[in-house]
Structure 1
């Protein structure tokens, strides 16, 4: 399972869930779906905790984080119609106002390292992924291994 940045790919997961469907193992499919959701939910909680120590805008933006639930992947969505500034709160802004302040009260840009930020992108979600990701991936893979063993004992 190679990981690249904040993206983790479990090779064969889609094929595994299709095989479960063919085998009539709907209960195991539901457990895989729940395992996907659990990872996203734990990352969301970690990001909201990290944002709690930041600005009011970042705390508010972090409250818009929500985990998604599918059989083949998990994701965390950010922002809403009521919080359109969520991505700016996570990544900051490059544009300065006439008075030299960062636009709309955002912190300085942390979207990529091209502007001198070497710590990685983001203020709360992406740092949480970097900190918690390896542990959560291991927990997830352990659960998938257990589910595979139960579904296809040999």
Structure 2
């Protein structure tokens, strides 16, 4: 990050504090404007000629950079898939709790894997339970694939809805 007097170019393409375009300005004039407004002159890129610069408060600029870096890191990681385990004969209170947890996870932008572990011959009850939960979570999530019934478990994956 090149600031204030460290900018060596004779003239810069200047952007104001509120994003307004101030045109191509002599570097000394831009520095004077920055001092008058109590902000810093920040060079955004050295690749262009004249280099684009912006008048910004130093703390605001650093916070903005940190937010952008954090957003990029999150996008690189991708979304997490969090598993919620249920039983086929779940009580209503526990069901409501799991539903709220799923809503919270989907609202945070992560995917939810709903898993019902099977004991004996519960596959029909488990499938009905997951179908009901998927239907009730339709306002905040979209089912990725169909409900998968394997030997020992029933699974459905919900992805968050894009706003």
Could you say which TM-score interval applies, normalised by the shorter chain?
under 0.3
The structure carrying a bigger strand percent of its residues is: 2
Q: TM-score, normalised by structure 1?
A: 0.26
The structure carrying a bigger helix percent of its residues is: 1
Q: TM-score, normalised by structure 2?
A: 0.25
> Which one has a bigger Cα radius of gyration?
2
Q: Which has the higher contact order (CA 8 A, sep 6+)?
A: 1
